[in-house]
Amino acid sequence: MPRTIRFHKPYGVLTKFTDHEGRPTLSDYIDVPDIYAAGRLDKDSEGLLLLTDNNRLNHLLTDPKFDHPRTYLVQVEHVPDGKVLNQLREGVQLGDYKTRPAEVELVNEPEHLPPRDPPIRYRKSIPSAFLKMTLTEGKNRQVRRMTAAVGHPTLRLIRIAIGPITLDGLDVGEWQDLTPAEFRALKESVQYT
């Protein structure tokens, strides 16, 4: 079984192991040789990141043609109405392309949401809301661009699942090897044979 881990990436950490500018990287948290991030999560995003030592699995997880779902908890400015939610569900025009349809729902703020360091800027006069969004493509900064395009800029972005693998049970900055059952579920979800 290839070595595959799940990691709860903190805000402000780069999704790479070295940085010539001395910014926080994965190496500040993970000391596993020959393992690489299967995809990216921007420095200003948090949450689930999978890392593996298997090139084929990495390719299946990162190539957009494989349509595997990634789920995010997104805190946005203002409370989106039904029309806005439908725009996000149907796909949003972003410059020269339209995003694929997405699963989008308005959700309550999770009870056990870990604090972010630094916290998002609180503005008493501007309410915020939480969305749960599941996408099957991974364009650069796609969630942020989608919410901005419909008038609800993203304040906080947390990836909570990649296919069947979730963030559940991981504290910020913590990582764990996938269990054999989790690895089997991941393989099935990406048709890894």
Catalytic residue set: 42
| DSSP structure string for 40-100 | ---TT-EEEEEEES-HHHHHHHH-GGG---EEEEEEEES---HHHHHHHHH--EETTEEPP
Under 8 Å CB-to-CB from 123, ≥6 apart: which residues? none
Are 157 and 9 contacting, i.e. CB atoms less than 8 angstroms apart?
Answer: no
Q: CA-to-CA distance for 74 and 63, rounded, in angstroms?
A: 23
Partners of residue 170 on adjacent β-strands? none
Partners of residue 104 on adjacent β-strands? 133
Q: What own/partner pairs with CB < 8 Å and gap ≥ 24 does 63-67 have?
A: 64/137, 64/138, 64/139, 66/190, 66/191, 67/136, 67/137
What is the largest distance, in Å, between two alpha-carbon atoms of the chain? 53
Q: CA-to-CA distance for 37 and 101, rounded, in angstroms?
A: 26
